[in-house]
Amino acid sequence: MPAAPLRRTPSADDLIILLAVAREGRYTGAGNRLGLNHTTIARRIDALEQALGGRVLVRGAAGWVLTPLGEHALAAAEDVEQALRRLSPAEPTLAGVVRLSATDGFSGFIASPAMAALRARHPDVSLEIVAATRRAAQQRVGVDLEVVVGRPHVHRAEAIHLGDYVLGLYASRGLLARRGLPASVEALAGEPLVYFIESMLQVDALDAARRSTRGMIDAVSSTNVYVHVDATRAGAGFGLLPAFLADPHDDLVRLFPEEIEERLPYWLVCRPEALRQPTAVAFIAALRARMAEARDALLGRPPEVG
């Protein structure tokens, strides 16, 4: 009976390459991060698979995804990364890129100030944002963290409730001067609405938020919430807007706050390996701090005086 072939010890360099591919989702992205070409990345992953005796990556819908063997190897790769950090005490404590997918409003009002606060302490950390309003992806390829509206249903991922925000109905002072103040919520039937494009809206919580405006007629619809704010300020219609974006504008008036108030949750979804990245963990802490700081604005509460 022939002897089984001997397997060599996996290379620490190959493990670091696997770590980069797992975080980037693509060989080209990993190569850019490490300063290597696509061919070298592919060759080193092949060498790692030969050393381990099985596949560590398989192609997913949006890029490379870890196999169970790959996830096992990833834990060793993270240990190698931590050991290398300890050998370079002169380097900043945190460095690297955090990749985030989030809604437009969250990206501007929460994520950007959170990263500014983190960079004040760790200037070698940076943030890349993919602005999107969608359901949580089942495979987070190419991003470390994802923020969605509504409780996500995901597998092989961690979901964390960050906090809530409020949608209210707003109109510009100019529009109210022309059309008059509606006497009641029922009087809004047939009036122009500024909100998301209904046929393209993929988020159940945002779709359900239309319930108080069902009798209204779409006037300006967009996938971008900042367009909603600008269109409402221009007098294109009554806008169903996040309070934290609308309240700072003196030319907007909130209507029927006791009757039209939709409270929606922000949820953070992340791959388990992201929670083992010190930079990602620090950014999550910065997001939580910013959410706490902005709580009153998110919920449409006036700032306390004195």
Mean residue pLDDT of the chain comes to 86
Model confidence band, residue 21 (pLDDT cutoffs 50, 70, 90): confident
pLDDT of residue 235: 97
Numbers of helices and strands, H then E, in the chain: 12, 11
pLDDT of residue 305: 42
Looking at the predicted structure, is the pLDDT value of residue 134 above 80? Answer: no
Paired strand residues for 238: 193
Going by C-alpha positions, the residue among 16, 18, 21, 81 that lies closest to residue 49 is 18
Distance CA 170, CA 186 (A): 15
The number of beta carbons lying within 10 Å of the beta carbon of residue 64 is 22
Q: Which helix (H) or strand (E) holds 167?
A: strand 158-172
Domain 93-306 adopts which CATH fold? D-Maltodextrin-Binding Protein; domain 2 (3.40.190)
pTM of the entire predicted model? 0.71
Looking at the predicted structure, is the pLDDT value of residue 86 above 70? Answer: no
In contact, 62 and 31? CB cutoff 8 Å: no
> Which amino acid makes up residue 295?
R
Pick 136 or 132 by higher pLDDT: 132
Domain ranges of the chain: 12-86, 93-306
pLDDT of residue 63: 80
Q: What is the pLDDT of residues 189-202, one digit of tens each?
A: 999 999 998 877 77
Token couple for 243: 């309070």
- CATH of span 12-86: 1.10.10.10
The three-point CA angle 182-183-186 to 5° equals 85
Q: What is the pLDDT of residues 45-74, one digit of tens each?
A: 998 988 888 998 988 776 888 888 888 888
Pick 170 or 47 by higher pLDDT: 170
Q: What is the pLDDT of residues 241-294, one digit of tens each?
A: 999 999 999 999 999 999 999 999 999 998 777 777 888 889 999 999 999 999
For 105, 148, 292, the CA distances from 109, given in Å and listed in that order, are: 6, 14, 12
In contact, 105 and 151? CB cutoff 8 Å: no
Give me the percent of the chain exceeding a pLDDT of 70.
88
In contact, 94 and 125? CB cutoff 8 Å: yes
Average pLDDT over residues 116-143: 77
Going by C-alpha positions, the residue among 225, 223, 220 that lies closest to residue 236 is 220
